[in-house]
């Protein structure tokens, strides 16, 4: 730590009055031990908040995702409804199917957004950043995550329509469409979902990890 501080201090001194812009000082780097300590401190509140808000957020996602699905279909035949037996699940219902077969699928809504635990903990744990800035960055990251979740609901429903309904899927979706929705759901539900917290964190805080841009 001392080595790093010394180095950057000297470089800053040399750059004084030369190339460094007055309005944009470089972001301070953080120490890993403080990050680990903050992660431990932030984890419990984030978990409790997520657990408390999950039932409401699931309902919001089911409603918003259902609206997005209906925007993409003519005529509107899809309804997403919360499962009565398990509040973590959503049922996919098609109103144009016979009553006995209207329930065409389901998915676990809570699984779509459990990565918020990781996102919240990472954003709140960054040391050396004022709380106001941390919360503002977290707010932007959450907004991006919510948009992603709504799109993920759409991908889950389209994936079920395109690949899981047997003859009906074959009749309504060609090979290209089946592959497209299958791959899109796979990529969104695994790499993008799992990598999103790190990706969003990097957007706001990578400059604290990268070597300083020093003017020589």
Partner 1 sequence: MSDERPKEPTDATQSTGWRAYRREITFLVVFLVLLAGSFTLISWNPVNDLVIEPFTGGVAVVSGWTLDLIGQDVEMQGTVIRNSRFAVNIMNGCNGVETMLIFLSAVLAFPAPWKMRLAGAAFGVVAIQLVNLLRVVALFLTGVYFPDFFDASHTVVWQTVVILCGVLLWIVWADRVARPAPAAAKSA
Judge whether 209 and 126 are in contact, CB under 8 Å: no
Residues 19-58 that bind partner 1 (CB under 8 A): 19-21, 24, 26, 29-30, 32, 35-36, 39
Query: Alpha-carbon distance 25 to 30, whole Å?
Result: 15
Nearest approach, Cβ of 117 to partner 1 (angstroms)?
5
40, containing H or E segment: helix 32-71
Burial of 70 (0-12, 13-18, 19+ CB in 10 A): middle
Could you tell me the two tokens for 215? 């003017």
Nearest approach, Cβ of 128 to partner 1 (angstroms)?
13
For the chain, the 3-state helix, strand and coil shares in percent, each to the nearest 5, are: 65, 10, 25
When asked if residue 203 is in the footprint of partner 1 (CB under 8 A), the reply is yes
Residue found under tokens 């993008």: 192
How many residues bind to partner 1 according to rule CB under 8 A? 53
When asked if residue 197 is in the footprint of partner 1 (CB under 8 A), the reply is yes
What does the per-residue mask of binding to partner 1 show for 54-93, with x meaning CB under 8 A? ----------------------------------------
Nearest approach, Cβ of 171 to partner 1 (angstroms)?
26
Residue found under tokens 């699984």: 111
94, containing H or E segment: strand 89-94
Q: Which of 61, 122, 154, 165 binds partner 1 (CB under 8 A)?
A: 122
Q: Which of 114, 140, 147, 164 binds partner 1 (CB under 8 A)?
A: 114
Judge whether 63 and 90 are in contact, CB under 8 Å: no
Binding site for partner 1 (CB under 8 A): 3-4, 6-8, 10-11, 14-15, 19-21, 24, 26, 29-30, 32, 35-36, 39, 108, 110-111, 114-115, 117-118, 121-122, 183, 186-187, 190-192, 194-195, 197-199, 201-203, 206-207, 209-216
């Amino acid at each position: 730590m001392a080595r790093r501080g010394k180095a950057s201090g000297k470089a800053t001194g040399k750059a004084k009055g030369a190339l460094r812009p007055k309005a944009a000082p470089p972001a301070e780097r953080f120490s890993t031990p403080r990050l680990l300590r903050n992660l431990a401190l932030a984890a419990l509140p984030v978990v409790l908040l997520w657990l408390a808000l999950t039932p409401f957020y699931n309902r919001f996602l089911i409603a918003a995702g259902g609206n997005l699905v209906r925007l993409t279909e003519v005529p509107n035949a899809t309804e997403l409804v919360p499962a009565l037996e398990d509040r973590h699940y959503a049922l996919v219902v098609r109103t144009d199917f016979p009553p006995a077969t209207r329930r065409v699928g389901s998915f676990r809504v809570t699984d779509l957004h459990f990565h918020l635990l990781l996102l919240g903990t990472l954003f709140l744990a960054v040391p050396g950043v004022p709380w106001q800035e941390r919360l503002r960055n977290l707010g932007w990251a959450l907004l991006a995550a919510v948009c992603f979740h709504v799109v993920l609901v759409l991908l889950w429903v389209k994936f079920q329509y395109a690949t899981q309904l047997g003859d009906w899927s074959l009749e309504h979706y060609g090979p290209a469409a089946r592959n497209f929705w299958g791959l899109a759901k796979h990529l969104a539900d695994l790499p993008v979902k799992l990598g999103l917290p790190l990706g969003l964190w990097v957007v706001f805080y990578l400059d604290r990890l990268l070597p300083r841009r020093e003017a020589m």
